[in-house]
Amino acid sequence: MINSGLKDGIHFEKVENEELAVGDVMQDLVYITHRLTIEKKKIEKLKAQLHVLDMEDDEPKNTHIIFVDDEKEAKKADPAKLLDTHPSLLNRSFNRLHSSQLSSLDNNLHDQALLTENKAKNGEKPKLVKPGTNTSAPIYQWPKQRKT
């Protein structure tokens, strides 16, 4: 009510023409650049966490060059045998498991002793929902219990 008034029955605001001081503009500019650097750092952190999304690409961004002696050997060279891995893992640019690691992983998936060691506190065993196959691990259901 202090900064407003009536003139001929019409309400109006009393506005003073203010000019911005250089100090006010500089203060705003410093604040904006501060917030900009904070947001850029957040963006960089998020981009760093998205490295797993590279797996969705059909072709890897990095290439692995295998050197051989002559063209004849290059034509008959099998990258899966040279890298000692499964052919389906050749497109991966990281965490490419060797054949020995894959075979031990497969044995661990079907090892019943490892699964029965992990029992619930009350002694109940997990129930087998779906048995494992050559391409998938078995699915177990543990009894529900409330943590106290």
65-116 pLDDT, tens per residue?
A: 888 889 999 889 888 888 888 888 887 777 788 888 888 776 666 655 555 5
**Dihedral-angle region of residue 9 (phi above 0 means left; psi in -120 to 50 means alpha; beta otherwise):** left
**Distinct helix (H) and strand (E) counts, the chain:** 5, 4
Q: What is the mean pLDDT of residues 18-37?
A: 88
Give the chain's mean pLDDT: 78
In total, the chain counts a number of residues equal to 148
Rounded Cα–Cα distance for residues 18 and 16 (Å): 6
pTM of the model as a whole: 0.33
**3-state secondary structure at position 128:** strand
Rounded Cα–Cα distance for residues 71 and 90 (Å): 21
